[in-house]
């Protein structure tokens, strides 16, 4: 950083004759940098910025001019002074407007975002814009000394003589914040930072307490006050807000960082400095003093940086050091908070020179990617130098012709005094504490100095001064750029000049390749490999490093890493067939295309190692596999000539004709033919076919057929396969294309020996639905097993049954699928017969159980009842079979299942009607029937509620019908029970209402509804705690299975010595002869009886059915009435109902005590109905309502009156 004056104007010398005051109160630089305006006494002077030429004076003020300000585009200039006037000047500096205040003008400032001008006096401030007719003025209690706008123009700050700062908003003009400072010294200058990169607005404030402070827009102070050591007179932000320029009572212009750290002195004045301004877009500072001097100073910022491999350290904002990893694009900042004069970096060391010390940093770890530094040592000395480098343990300072080595503790360990001034120095590495230095001198010498050696070593002596030097990776070559910009490369060992290149400004050897060097010249980057011609690329800047394919270039104080593929040097080596050197260059960084070219060229020249490594880079698996095959053959010592390798290579490359010629040359015609077959070039393949080899002929035909198949020419493919006797492939194509006739033609050409092919034909015929053709093939092969499967798949059951007649071993294989087929088509009876025929009764039961579960789940309770009945009958059959095998335990299990499923069938049968009654608005059943069904269900589900049945629905239906039938006691009981259950919302209101209204009814039931036991004539309650049986004799009630009324039936059983068939025979005999007397008196066991009407002769002894009814014990469990042969003979067969169950169950016998009631039974399900009800159902549905048997299996049994 070097400040130097551009021009100086001594205004006081020019005004000595007039004796006028010459103090420079204010300075303003035009926004375009063309001119400078200075306020001296009561005049405004205009100067040319570039030359300092005085242009003119702007008259207009009658007193001293204190302040000046240009607007943002320079079209307006505002000036104010002791005459209390503000004058607005045009772009050509002609006065166009004047307005006044009540006191002298202390400060003026244009808004950076608009045309508003702010003017301040000792007691007020005002804002003016061309859109306003009047100046908007506001009073303040303290004198205003300075003012400034924020960068967006929304707020302005006023510095007050009282030491306070007021911040006002443009909109409304109200004070937003008042900053009260601890010091009461006047605020003499302030300015907001104009940088748009700052996230918040920052204001720099200098007061006459010799303090510099920084504040945010919200009034919060940033950091602490900084001591200036003098009274400030002026303050300006420099280079867009990166630095501060401050002048004052110390007669100097000082450069500060944006944090307020002093950097350097820019100019020395002869008196107080009252005015300073910055020329926009240039590093120019204009300053004015008390004595009337104007000085334009230019500040040049030098690049302070250091580079070691990919690590680049440079200075930023004069006080910070940035370390950048150019390869990984990582950065880290070190805040030094002082002027950084020099920077040096080497390996894990970093040295930073400040004005009064040198700080040495080190990396936290040895990791090459680590970017964290910490302070290792400090040299607390003011050491002046021209150049600075750092090694592992030393700091090297260059000053003129002296080279000094300091330890990190600050001890000077060694000093070298050289013959001429040092122009260039570089650390070239070495052991720790013994590093070597390359030093270039003004007299053309290049020396090598070791840190631990006091004696320099001369390497090269040139005639011209040294500008830049570098040494190659292996320390064998030295590159030098001299004062004539000539790049010379020497062999260090022989001192031989290898080559020279003109117009070089900077150079660098590649750190990864001994023979590659690059240098910059006249906007071009030059890369030279070995002795090959230079390869140029257009690029501005200076080359400072060359690592792999990355070139580090310094341009406009910015270091960039440019990735340049090394294609040209690689191609130069390839042209000379130097593949090892070309591979090393390619490893630095080339494109995938370059790698492929290198690999191909190496392979063509049979350099397999280089070719393999290059192919690995581009992941060319095809060529890698080829090279691997060649290497394996060589390892196994397989004879393989270079001609054969080249032929294979040409084939891989796609040069097939050349490959074929090479194969033929090497005697490998078969490989040529195979290649052309793979390419589907069969005509070319025939040229290499020998007629003496039939295998090759067949193979060629097969390959041609495969190609036809892949191109969808299936007809030709089939013909070719048949010509090659490849029937399997021809069958596959014909079958996949569903060509039935072609498939039939092929199948009839083959005999039984083509077993697999014929089976494949049959399979395709089956898929196409041509079952007769498939059967023909299976019969031809004698494949009965497959024939059975075919009949089953095609559902040709008759043919399958005929086959079973001749071959009984297939019976199970046929009837099980047949049963499944029937079950799927809802033919469950036939399906069960088929399962039984197949010997799989349990399979039939599983089908029914699944159907039953689905019916219950889907609320098809009528179907569920039917399926449960079917299940019960199935288990009865199983019990019958178990009885034949004397399996007592299985019999009991099956009978338990039978009874359970019979019970469930009756429950779901009755619930079906009640469910429809509760869910649908209408029903075909009478209230009495619904009442009886509900009573029946309540008794049946008292112990267990089957799945799917709603107890709420049953109780609700019974409650409603009980209320309608005047069974109020039962209705109240049902409603009470309902209140204890979870009731669906749709029933809630009706149940709640009826639960209340039923209490207004009598607490009794209609006596006409009470059921009477036919056996003991006991009247039973409507709701029986014992269930569906008499409370006295415990005989179960027999219901009609339509209206569910209690039937007047009494169950009886024959004596144990009478079989069921004998009992039926006795009942069916003619009744005995009857006497003519109309009455008869009998005495027996103390009981006198009188019988009216015709009396059978056998009645003389009193052994009658009616007498047997009286013999029961209510304390024992229920037993049916037991009758002997005589009673059976006397029973009228029209009064007796017989339920004939299959063994092991016995028949059930019931006597109708009210013969005038005509009853009917279903011989299939053994359910009893009123004859009228059953006849009506048969007329409507032509089947039994319970078991769904057709009419012809139902017979009517009547009783005579």
Name the β-bridge partners of 622: none
Helix, strand, or coil here: 261? coil
Q: H or E element: which one contains 246?
A: strand 243-248
- Quote the CA–CA distance of 435 and 804 in Å, as a whole number: 104
Q: Is residue 45 scored above 50 in pLDDT?
A: yes
- Which of 1158, 1160, 1163, 1123 has its CA nearest to residue 1139? 1163
The total of other beta-carbon atoms located within 10 Å of residue 766's CB is 20
Q: What is the pLDDT of residue 1201?
A: 23
Write down the pLDDT at residue 625: 84
Three-class secondary structure of residue 278 per DSSP: strand
Q: Phi/psi at 121 (nearest 5 deg)?
A: -125, -170
Q: Can you tell me the distance from the alpha carbon of 64 to that of 24, in angstroms, rounded to the nearest whole number?
A: 10
Q: Alpha-carbon distance 697 to 699, whole Å?
A: 5
Q: Report d(CA 1073, CA 1093) in Å as an integer.
A: 13
Average pLDDT over residues 1148-1163: 89
Helix (H, G, I), strand (E, B) or coil at 323: strand
The CB density around residue 1185, as the number of other CB atoms within 10 Å, is 21
Q: d(Cα 351, Cα 357) in Å, to the nearest integer?
A: 11
Task: Identify the DSSP state of 516.
Answer: E
1039, 1045 Cβ separation under 8 angstroms: yes
User: Residue 267 to residues 23, 36, 53, 262, 814: CA-CA distances in angstroms?
Assistant: 18, 18, 20, 14, 117
Here the tokens at position 65 are 């001019």
Q: At what angle do helices 861-884 and 841-857 cross, to 10 degrees?
A: 160
Q: Kindly state the DSSP code that residue 195 receives in the 8-state scheme.
A: -
Q: From start to end of 30-152, where are the E strands? A: 35-40, 43-48, 54-58, 65-70, 77-81, 85-89, 95-100, 105-110, 117-121, 124-128, 136-139, 144-149
Identify the pLDDT of residue 836: 66
Least confident of 525-539, 1040-1054, 1058-1072, 1100-1114: 1100-1114
Strand, coil or helix: 927: helix
Token output for 429:
């590495």
Q: Does 691 have pLDDT greater than 80? A: no
- The Cα diameter of the chain in Å comes to 186
Q: Is it the case that residue 804 has pLDDT exceeding 80?
A: no
Q: What are 691-697's contacts with CB under 8 Å, separation 24+?
A: 696/670
List CB contacts of 292: < 8 A, sequence separation 6 or more.
Answer: 10, 11, 12, 13, 15, 22, 23, 24, 40
pLDDT value at residue 921: 67
**1049-1054 and 1121-1123: which strand pairing?**
parallel
More confident site: 107 or 1042: 107
pLDDT score, position 701: 65
Cβ atoms of 839 and 926 closer than 8 Å: no
CA 908 to chain centre: 54
Helix (H, G, I), strand (E, B) or coil at 512: coil
SS3 letters across 147-158: EEECCCCCEEEE
Q: Which pair of structure tokens corresponds to residue 1174?
A: 């059953």
Residue 1053 · residue 1046 · CB < 8 Å: no
Partner residues linked to 237 by β-bridges: 244
Cα 363 to Cα 308: distance, rounded to the nearest angstrom: 14
Q: What is the pLDDT of residues 262-275, one digit of tens each?
A: 988 999 998 999 99
Residues 387, 825: Cα–Cα separation, whole Å: 104
Q: Write phi, then psi, for 240 (nearest 5 degrees).
A: 70, 20
CA distance 1090 to 915: 52
pLDDT at position 408, please?
Answer: 92
DSSP secondary structure, 347-385, as one string? TTEEEEEETTEEEEEEESSS-TT---EEEEEEE-S----
- Count CB atoms within 10 A of the CB of residue 1179: 9
Say what percent of the chain tops pLDDT 70. Answer: 90
Distance CA 1070, CA 1132 (A): 9
Mean pLDDT, the chain, rounded, equals 84
Answer for the pair 235, 246: CB distance below 8 angstroms, yes or no. yes
Does the pLDDT at position 1100 exceed 50? no
Provide the pLDDT for residue 4: 84
Judge if the upstream peptide bond of residue 1144 is cis by omega within 30 degrees of 0: yes
Extract the runs of DSSP E, i.e. beta strands, from 495-579. Answer: 497-501, 506-509, 516-521, 524-529, 535-538, 542-547, 550-555, 558-563
The answer to whether 969 and 1005 are in contact (CB under 8 A) is: yes
Mean pLDDT of 501-521: 90
**Are the beta carbons of 750 and 780 closer than 8 angstroms?**
no
pLDDT at 788: 75
| R_g over Cα of the chain | 61
In the prediction, which pLDDT does 10 show?
A: 87
Helix (H, G, I), strand (E, B) or coil at 79: strand
Considering 103-117, 718-732, 774-788, the range whose residues carry the highest mean pLDDT is: 103-117
pLDDT at 1080: 57
Q: How far lies 142's CA from each of 102, 120, 139, 161, 1079, in Å?
A: 14, 11, 9, 6, 150
State yes or no: pLDDT of 18 exceeds 80: no
Question: Quick one: the chain helix, strand, coil %, rounded to 5?
Answer: 30, 30, 35
Q: How far apart are CA 372 and CA 924, in angstroms?
A: 95
Give Cα separations from 801 to 316, 775, 798, 818, 825 (angstroms). 102, 15, 5, 10, 19
Question: Which SS3 state, helix, strand or coil, does residue 86 take?
Answer: strand
pTM of structure: 0.51
């Amino acid at each position: 950083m070097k400040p130097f004056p551009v021009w100086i104007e001594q205004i006081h010398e020019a005004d000595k004759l007039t004796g006028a005051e010459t103090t420079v109160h204010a300075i303003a630089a035009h926004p375009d940098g063309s001119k400078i305006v200075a306020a001296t006494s009561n005049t405004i002077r205009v100067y040319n910025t570039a030359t300092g030429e005085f242009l003119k004076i702007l008259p207009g003020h009658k007193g001293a001019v204190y302040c000046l300000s240009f607007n943002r585009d320079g079209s307006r200039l505002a000036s104010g002074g002791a005459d209390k006037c503000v004058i607005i000047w045009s772009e050509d500096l002609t006065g166009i407007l004047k307005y006044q205040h009540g006191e002298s003008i202390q400060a003026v400032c244009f808004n950076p975002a608009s045309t508003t001008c702010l003017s301040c006096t000792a007691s007020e401030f005002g804002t003016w814009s061309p859109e306003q007719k009047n100046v908007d003025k506001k009073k303040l209690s303290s004198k205003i000394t300075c003012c400034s706008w924020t960068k967006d123009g929304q707020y302005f700050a006023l510095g007050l003589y009282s030491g306070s700062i007021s911040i006002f908003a443009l909109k409304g003009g109200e004070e937003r914040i008042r900053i009260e400072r601890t010091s009461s010294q006047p605020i003499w200058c302030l300015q907001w930072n104009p940088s748009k990169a700052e996230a918040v607005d920052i204001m720099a404030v200098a007061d006459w307490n010799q303090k510099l402070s920084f504040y945010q827009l919200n009034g919060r102070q940033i950091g602490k006050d900084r001591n200036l050591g003098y009274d400030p007179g002026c303050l300006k932000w420099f280079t867009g807000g990166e630095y501060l320029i401050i002048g004052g009572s110390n007669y100097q212009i000082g450069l500060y960082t944006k944090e307020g750290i002093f950097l350097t002195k820019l100019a020395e004045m002869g008196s107080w400095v009252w005015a300073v301004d910055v020329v926009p877009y240039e590093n120019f500072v204009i300053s004015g003093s008390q004595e009337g001097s104007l000085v334009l100073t230019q500040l040049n910022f030098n690049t302070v940086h250091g580079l070691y491999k990919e690590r680049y350290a440079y200075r930023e904002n004069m006080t910070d050091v940035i370390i950048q990893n150019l390869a990984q694009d990582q950065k880290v900042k070190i805040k030094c908070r002082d002027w950084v004069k020099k920077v040096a970096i080497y390996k894990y060391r970093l040295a930073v020179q400040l004005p009064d010390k040198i700080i040495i940093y080190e990396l936290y770890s040895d990791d090459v990617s680590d970017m964290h530094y910490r302070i290792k040592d400090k040299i607390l000395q003011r050491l002046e130098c021209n150049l600075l480098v750092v090694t592992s343990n030393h700091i090297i300072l260059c000053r003129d012709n002296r080279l000094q080595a300091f330890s990190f503790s600050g001890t000077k360990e060694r000093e070298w005094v050289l013959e001429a001034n040092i122009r260039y120095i570089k650390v070239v590495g070495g052991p720790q504490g013994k590093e070597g230095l390359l030093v270039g001198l003004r007299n053309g010498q290049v020396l090598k100095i070791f840190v631990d050696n006091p004696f320099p070593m001369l390497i090269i002596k040139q005639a011209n001064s040294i500008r830049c030097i570098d040494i190659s990776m292996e320390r064998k070559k030295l590159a030098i750029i001299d004062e004539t910009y000539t790049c010379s490369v020497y062999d260090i060992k022989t001192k031989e000049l290898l080559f020279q290149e003109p117009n070089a400004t900077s150079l660098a050897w590649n750190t990864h390749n001994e023979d590659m060097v690059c240098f910059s010249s006249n906007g071009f980057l030059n890369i030279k490999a070995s002795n090959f011609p230079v390869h140029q690329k257009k690029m501005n800047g200076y080359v400072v490093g060359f690592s792999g394919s990355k070139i580090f270039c310094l341009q406009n104080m910015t270091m960039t890493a440019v990735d340049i593929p090394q294609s040209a040097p690689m191609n130069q080596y390839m042209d000379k067939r130097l593949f090892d050197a070309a591979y090393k260059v390619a490893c630095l960084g080339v494109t995938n295309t370059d790698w492929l070219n290198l690999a191909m060229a190496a392979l063509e020249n049979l350099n397999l190692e280089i070719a393999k490594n290059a192919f690995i880079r581009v992941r060319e698996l095809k060529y890698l596999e080829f090279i691997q095959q060649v290497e394996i053959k060589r390892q196994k010592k397989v004879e393989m000539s270079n001609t054969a390798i080249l032929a294979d290579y040409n084939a891989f490359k796609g040069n097939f004709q050349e490959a074929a010629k090479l194969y033929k040359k090497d005697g490998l015609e078969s490989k040529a033919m195979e290649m052309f077959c793979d390419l589907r070039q069969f005509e070319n393949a025939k040229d290499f076919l020998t007629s003496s080899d039939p295998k090759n002929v067949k193979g060629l035909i097969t390959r041609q057929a495969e190609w036809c198949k892949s191109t969808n020419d299936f007809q030709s493919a089939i013909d070719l396969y048949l010509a090659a006797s490849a029937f399997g492939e021809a069958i596959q194509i014909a079958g996949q294309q569903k060509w039935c006739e072609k498939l039939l033609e092929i199948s009839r050409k083959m005999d039984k020996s083509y077993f697999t092919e014929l089976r494949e034909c049959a399979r395709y015929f089956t898929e196409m639905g041509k079952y007769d053709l498939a059967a023909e093939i299976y019969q031809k092969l004698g494949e009965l097993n497959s024939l059975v499967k075919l009949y089953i798949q095609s559902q040709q059951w008759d043919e399958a049954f005929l086959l079973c007649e001749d071959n009984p071993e297939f019976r199970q294989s046929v009837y099980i699928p047949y049963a499944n087929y029937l079950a799927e088509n809802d033919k469950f009876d036939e399906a069960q017969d088929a399962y039984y025929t197949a010997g799989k009764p349990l399979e039939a039961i599983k089908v029914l159980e699944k159907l039953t579960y689905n019916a219950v789940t889907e609320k098809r309770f009528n179907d569920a009842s039917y399926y449960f009945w079917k299940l019960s009958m199935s288990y009865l059959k199983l019990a019958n079979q178990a009885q034949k095998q004397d399996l007592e335990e299985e019999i009991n299990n099956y009978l338990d299942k039978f009874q359970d499923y019979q019970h469930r069938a009756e429950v779901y049968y009755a619930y079906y009607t009640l469910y429809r009654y509760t869910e649908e608005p209408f029903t075909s059943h009478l209230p009495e029937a619904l009442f009886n069904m509900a009573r029946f269900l309540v008794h049946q589900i008292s112990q267990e509620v089957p799945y799917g049945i709603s107890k709420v629905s049953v109780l609700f239906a019974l409650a409603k019908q009980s209320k309608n039938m005047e069974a109020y006691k039962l209705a109240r009981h049902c409603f009470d029970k309902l209140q204890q259950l979870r009731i669906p919302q749709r029933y809630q209101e009706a149940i709640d209402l009826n639960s209340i209204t039923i209490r207004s009814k009598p607490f009794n039931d209609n006596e006409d509804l009470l059921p009477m036991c036919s056996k003991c004539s006991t009247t039973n309650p409507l709701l029986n705690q014992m269930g569906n049986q008499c409370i006295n004799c415990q005989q179960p009630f027999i219901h009609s299975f339509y209206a569910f009324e209690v039937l007047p039936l009494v169950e009886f059983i024959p004596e144990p010595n009478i079989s069921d068939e004998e009992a039926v025979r006795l009942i069916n005999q003619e009744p005995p002869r009857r006497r003519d007397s109309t009455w008869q008196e009998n005495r027996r066991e103390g009981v006198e009886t009188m019988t009216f009407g015709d009396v059978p002769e056998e009645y003389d002894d009193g052994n009658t059915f009616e007498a047997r009814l009286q013999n029961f014990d209510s304390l024992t469990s229920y037993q049916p009435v037991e009758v002997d042969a005589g009673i059976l003979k006397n029973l009228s067969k029209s009064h007796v109902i017989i339920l004939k169950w299959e063994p092991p169950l016995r028949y059930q016998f019931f006597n109708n005590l009210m013969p005038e009631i005509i009853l009917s039974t279903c011989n299939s399900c053994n359910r009893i109905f009123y004859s009228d009800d059953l006849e009506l159902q048969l007329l409507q549905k032509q089947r039994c309502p319970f078991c769904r048997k057709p009419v012809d299996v139902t017979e009517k049994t009547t009783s005579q009156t």
